[in-house]
Amino acid sequence: MLRIRLSSACLALVAMSVSVLSAAEPVGDRTVVEKTPGLVGFWTFGEEAGQPRVSSGTKERHPLQEVSGPVARVEGGPYSGYAAEFNGRQYLKIPYAETGDLNIAGPDAQVSLFAVVRIVDLKQSRTIAGMWSEGKGANDDTGTRQYSLLMNMPTYGGPNKLTPHISSEGGVTRRADGSAFPWCCDYAASAHDVPTETWCTLGFTYDAKSIRAYINGELDEQPLDPKKHKRTDRYFTEEGPDGKDRGLNPYYHGRGIFRYDAEKHAATKPGGGSDFTVGARYAVGSFTGEATKGRFGGLAVFNRAITDKEMRALHSSAGVEKLNGR
C-alpha cells in the first residue's frame, strides 16, 4: 500500500509539472513577427520580474527597464508562454538617449506598431507603447511627442476607441495658419471599442500620409462625422487632401514625425526628447496617472508601414483564440 501511495504521489507531481510546463508554452509563432521586414523592436515578455525585457530578432537589444517597481511575469502568452502584467502603477521604458532605431522621426518617416494584449479597463486614457511625452496639460507646447498607440481619447471622438497618434510638432497641434489647439489632436479612431477582459491584437500603421488603426488584424475603418466625433474645426473638415476632410480611420496627417533637436529645442522643450515607454506615457505632468492595467504578451515596432496582409498575418501568429480558451 505504501508503494502505491508513493507512486500516486509521484504521478501527481509529474502531472503538476506537466501542467505548469504546458501553461508556459507559447501558443503563437514568433517567427512570423521576426521575419516581417522593417522590424526594429520585438518583446515577448518571457523574462522574470526584475529583469530587463529584451528585444528578440532585431539588430538592437532595446532592454526595457522597469519603473516604479517590478512588473510581474504571469503564465500565458503568445510568443514566450508568458506575459507582463501591468497594475496601473508601473511601466517599462528605454531612456531617450538609448532609443536607437526606435527613434523614428522625420518628414518622410513611417512606423507601425503591433501588440498582443489583454486590457483590464478603459476608465481612463491608456497607453500601449511609443515615444510620447505630452507635457503638463492643456496648452502646454513643451511636449516631445512622436508616435504612440493610445486608447480612450474622448476629446476628439475617440471614447474607448483605439487611437494611434502621430505628432509633427511634438507639442500641440497647429492649423495651417499656425493657430494652436490645446492638445495634440492628430489621431485615428477605430469604429469599435477596444476589447477588454479578453486577449486581442491592436495595431497601427503610418505611411507618412495616413494613420490607420487595426483591431484583431483588421482595419477598423470609420469615416468622419464632424458633429459626432467633435471634429467640426476647419482643421479636420477643410485641411485634408485637396481641401477636404482628414477622415477618422484612416486619418490623414501627412506632416511627418517630430524629431527632437537638443540645440534647436533647448528653450522651447527643456524636458528633452521622449523616452520609449510601454504601458504609460508622460501626460499632465505624470507617467502613472493614466498607466495601463492589463497583460502584454507581445509588442513589435516596425520602421515602415506594414500592409493590411502583414497585419493580418501578425494577428494570426498570436493565437489569441487559444489564449482566450485557456
Residue pair 194/215 in contact (Cβ under 8 Å)? The answer is: yes
d(CA 168, CA 155): 19
Amino acid symbol at 318 = A
d(CA 243, CA 301): 32
Q: Kindly report the number of other CB atoms within 10 A of residue 267's CB atom.
A: 7
Domains and CATH numbers, the chain: 23-219+255-324 (2.60.120.200)
**Which residues of the chain register pLDDT less than 70?**
1-23
pLDDT recorded at residue 24:
82
State whether the Cα torsion 129-135-137-139 is positive or negative.
negative
| Nine cell digits for residue 196 | 477588454
d(CA 27, CA 38): 24
Among 38, 85, 99, CA closest to 311: 38
Residue pair 187/145 in contact (Cβ under 8 Å)? The answer is: no
d(CA 218, CA 286): 33
d(CA 24, CA 48): 12
d(CA 165, CA 202): 14
pLDDT recorded at residue 79:
98
Residue with cell 514568433: 30
- Please report which helix (H) or strand (E) contains residue 321, including its range: helix 320-324
Q: For 242, phi and psi rounded to 5 degrees?
A: 55, 30
Residue pair 85/74 in contact (Cβ under 8 Å)? The answer is: yes
The dihedral region occupied by 171, where left means phi > 0, alpha psi between -120 and 50, and beta the remainder, is: beta
